[in-house]
């Protein structure tokens, strides 16, 4: 690999860092132990977290040692949001989420070899710490004037909601994490999102004050989309890594439907392809955007990486079959149901003429428009062209005894579920 700092810069993964020359030298002199923290504020990580996971994966592939910190302690408090106080979750719930988040991070890292990764939990060094010890040993090294200058804190202080002492103290806990990992594992680099910069520098300052050592921080940019919508969000909400919260099919479709204006950024940040391969995909997007080669390549790569080869193959087959490039009956029920959940749907108790069903799923504005679509040869049921305006599907047409897939023209899809 080229110089890892150059590689991260080329991929657009460095928004801000401490002294770049010193950071570059540290990596060159390595191996370096680097950590990234993840708070269990939900039962799953999401696409924003994936940026950080893949960043420490890249660093490990470059020969450095990653630590994945899941905040069993900081997750009980929550990083200050820009707008309002977080809801404090029950400790038992947070403990369960710690396990789930750890299990999501582990497959991306290698836990063998000379730069084997490790998972750590900051509850290990905070649970036995008394309030007096915390204030005397850690709190005395923080200056309130610097703490209130942090962007998230400053914004909340100037809002109607204000900020509690609990959330105000979050940066002290994160700073202590860096100090503990420096002491326990020789960790000298912390990574995170650019919105975490104030928390990252808190740890740098604390280590300098307590240990007299110089350490580093590297922040990735917050990803924005060209259309102004938030990255990693759809109409249904966040794109989660847990397949029960976001199906592998929906995950695949998110990348497949990426805007041409965004795909170059996404491929550089998320793909592990070489520069040459990525530049070829970028050329393809410019020259033949209708082929969506970059979107397809990234969708398959990330679905395979996050959900495994079998799930990736299943969702690719489903995506093709929905548009007549495969047999819908060959899809397993769970994959088909996940794919159809993304389409306009109607639930019925008994089968009606196709023209009526087309109207029910709003592929056409009316039953008469449905008959006209059939007459013009543009209606399909389970990828079979409908030839009669009065045609009514039978029970034997139901896929898995439950579904009909309707299509108008080449790309307009809908689903009927018979209950």
Residues making up the binding site for L-tyrosine? 35, 170, 174
User: What is d(CA 62, CA 286) in angstroms, rounded to the nearest whole number?
Assistant: 31
Which residues fall in the annotated binding site for ATP?
Answer: 233
User: What is d(CA 297, CA 347) in angstroms, rounded to the nearest whole number?
Assistant: 34
Classify residue 377 as left (phi > 0), alpha (psi -120 to 50) or beta. Answer: left
Residue in 302, 293, 296, 303 with CA at minimum distance from that of residue 335: 303
**Helix extents (H) in 271-401:** 275-287, 293-307, 309-322, 333-340, 354-360, 367-375
Q: Are strands 345-348 and 384-385 parallel, antiparallel or unpaired?
A: unpaired
Q: Name every residue whose Cβ is closer than 8 Å to that of residue 322 and which is 6 or more positions away in sequence.
A: 328, 339, 405, 407, 413
Which residues fall in the annotated binding site?
Answer: 35, 170, 174, 233
Distances (CA, A) of 26 to 178, 294, 371: 17, 34, 70
* CA 291 from centroid of its chain's CA atoms: 25
Residues 84/70, Cβ–Cβ less than 8 Å? no
Six token digits for residue 120: 């750590």
Residue in 179, 35, 220 with CA at minimum distance from that of residue 119: 35
Q: Name every residue whose Cβ is closer than 8 Å to that of residue 271 and which is 6 or more positions away in sequence.
A: 278, 297, 298, 301, 302
Residue in 300, 110, 324 with CA at minimum distance from that of residue 292: 300
């Amino acid at each position: 690999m080229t110089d890892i700092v150059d590689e991260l810069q080329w991929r657009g993964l460095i928004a801000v860092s401490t002294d770049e020359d010193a950071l570059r030298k540290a990596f060159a002199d390595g191996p370096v132990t680097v950590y990234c923290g993840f708070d269990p504020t939900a039962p799953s990580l999401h696409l924003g977290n994936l940026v950080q996971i893949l960043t420490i994966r890249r660093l490990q592939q470059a020969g450095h040692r990653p630590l994945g910190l899941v905040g069993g302690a900081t997750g009980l408090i929550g990083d200050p949001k820009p707008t309002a106080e977080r809801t404090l979750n029950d400790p038992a719930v947070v403990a369960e989420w710690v396990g789930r988040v750890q299990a999501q991070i582990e497959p991306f890292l290698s836990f063998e070899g000379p730069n084997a990764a490790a998972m750590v939990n900051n509850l290990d060094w905070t649970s036995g710490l008394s309030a007096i010890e915390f204030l005397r040993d850690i709190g005395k090294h923080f200056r309130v004037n610097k703490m209130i200058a942090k962007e998230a804190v400053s914004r909340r202080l100037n809002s109607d909601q204000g900020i509690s002492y609990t959330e105000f103290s979050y940066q002290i806990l994160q700073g202590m994490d860096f100090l503990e990992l420096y002491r326990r594992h020789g960790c000298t680099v912390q990574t995170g999102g650019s919105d975490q910069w104030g928390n990252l520098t808190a740890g740098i300052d604390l280590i300098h004050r307590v240990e007299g050592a110089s350490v580093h921080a590297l922040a990735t940019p917050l990803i924005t989309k060209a259309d102004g919508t938030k990255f990693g969000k759809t109409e249904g909400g966040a794109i989660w890594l847990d397949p029960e919260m976001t199906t592998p099919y929906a995950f695949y479709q998110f990348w497949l439907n990426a805007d041409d204006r965004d795909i170059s950024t996404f491929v550089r940040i998320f793909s592990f392809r070489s520069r040459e391969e990525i530049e070829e995909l970028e050329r393809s997007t410019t020259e033949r955007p209708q082929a969506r080669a970059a979107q397809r390549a990234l969708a398959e790569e990330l679905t395979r990486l996050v959900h495994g080869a079998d799930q990736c193959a299943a969702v690719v087959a489903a995506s093709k079959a929905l548009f007549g490039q495969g047999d819908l009956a060959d899809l397993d029920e769970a994959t088909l149901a996940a794919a159809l959940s993304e389409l306009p749907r109607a639930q019925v108790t008994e089968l009606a003429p196709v023209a009526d069903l087309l109207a029910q799923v709003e592929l056409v504005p009316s039953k008469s428009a449905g008959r006209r679509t059939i007459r013009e040869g543009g209606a399909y049921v389970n990828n079979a062209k409908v030839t009669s305006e009065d045609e009514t599907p039978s029970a034997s047409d139901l896929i898995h005894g439950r579904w009909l897939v309707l299509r108008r023209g080449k790309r307009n899809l809908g689903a009927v579920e018979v209950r």
